[in-house]
A = this chain, B = another copy of it.
Amino acid sequence: MSTPIRPHPPETRSRILDAAEVLFVEHGFEATSMRMITSRAGVNLAAVNYHFGSKDALIQEIFRRRLTELNRQRLAALDKLEAEAGGATLKPSHIVEAFFGTALALAADTEHGGHTFMRLLGRTYTEPNTFVRQFLAEEYAEVLERFLGALYRALPDVPREEILWRFHFMMGAMSYAIAGTDALQLFAGNFDDADPARLMPRLMSFLLGGLRAPLPDHAELEKQRRGGREAA
């Protein structure tokens, strides 16, 4: 039988992935050349094409290896919540924590590139019409369906479109939260508390406040029209 764990893993692959991740978040996809990547990784220029086929395939692999694991954790967290609830409706705060807390935990990992990747992900999410967008949509499909469904059930009085928008707003806040430690410094000289351990409760308070905010007028009207019992 072949050994399932190789004694000398092909570290060239992961060296390239790690180097590319850092360079992509620093300079963007297009501005990062193969030469920059291979030079930083300490491997030969031709190694990227040998191991991944092309620059685009390398980009895809960067997202695939991280997102598969992140979304697996998210689904596991949601599974756990639903098992504990045993059929009862979940609390919105728990759903939000399962989705965004997992991501923030990854972003707090500065040792193994989790922080780097989450910055990259947050930026890519609203980025140009690259092939990455299509790829992200596929990777996120199942997770979003599960979490949005859970929120719809947890907040039956809130119009679904309102939940969808607020979920989107929350992703924006999270994206800036993760990028923020660097970005805030720029125009806030008096900014001195970038402790990542405090970021989690900070962001969670904000997200839940936004999610549970009073509905805007037109949504409030729609809610009543659907049979809510708010004061006339």
Contacts and interface: CB of A to CB of B under 8 A. Distances in A.
A228 interface: no
A175 interface: yes
Contacts of A31: 29-30, 128
Contact of A172 (B173, B187, B204): B173
A187 B28 contact: no
Contacts of A123: 123, 126-127
A3 to B, nearest CB: 40
Contacts of A191: 161, 164
A202 B219 contact: yes
In the assembly, how many copies of this chain are there? Answer: 2
Contacts of A122: 126
The listed residue with most B CB atoms (<10 A of its CB), out of A133, A141, A213, is: A213
Interface residues of A, number: 70
A186 B137 contact: yes
A133 B186 CA distance: 8
B177 A176 contact: no
The listed residue with most B CB atoms (<10 A of its CB), out of A141, A171, A202, A215, is: A202
Contact of A176 (B148, B175, B206, B214): B175
A176 B180 contact: no
A148 B187 CA distance: 11
A83 interface: no
Interface in A101-152: 119, 122-123, 125-129, 133-134, 136-137, 140-141, 144, 148
A179 B126 contact: yes
A81 interface: no
Nearest to A188: B164
Contacts of A218: 198, 201
Nearest to A31: B30
Would you list the 10 A-B pairs with minimal beta carbon distance, nearest first?
A: A209-B213, A172-B176, A201-B216, A210-B210, A126-B179, A30-B30, A30-B31, A169-B173, A206-B210, A172-B172
Interface of A: 25-31, 119, 122-123, 125-129, 133-134, 136-137, 140-141, 144, 148, 160-162, 164-166, 168-177, 179-180, 183-184, 186-188, 190-193, 198, 201-219
